[in-house]
Amino acid sequence: MLDFGKIKASEIPEIIESKDRTKAGKTLPAHGLYLVEVKYN
């Protein structure tokens, strides 16, 4: 199976704790993205 460099869910806490944005991978500009809904449970 190909990996495509995706981050595993188990890696996210480590990335956040490191406070190093570069560990989270590339981001793209938010052109055309908008918040549709927020749900609180």
Q: Tell me if the pTM is above 0.85.
A: no
Contact 38, 21 (CB under 8 A): no
By CB atoms closer than 10 A (0-12, 13-18, 19+), residue 40 is exposed
Q: pLDDT tens-digit profile of 18-41?
A: 999 889 888 878 788 888 999 998
| Residue 31, pLDDT score | 86
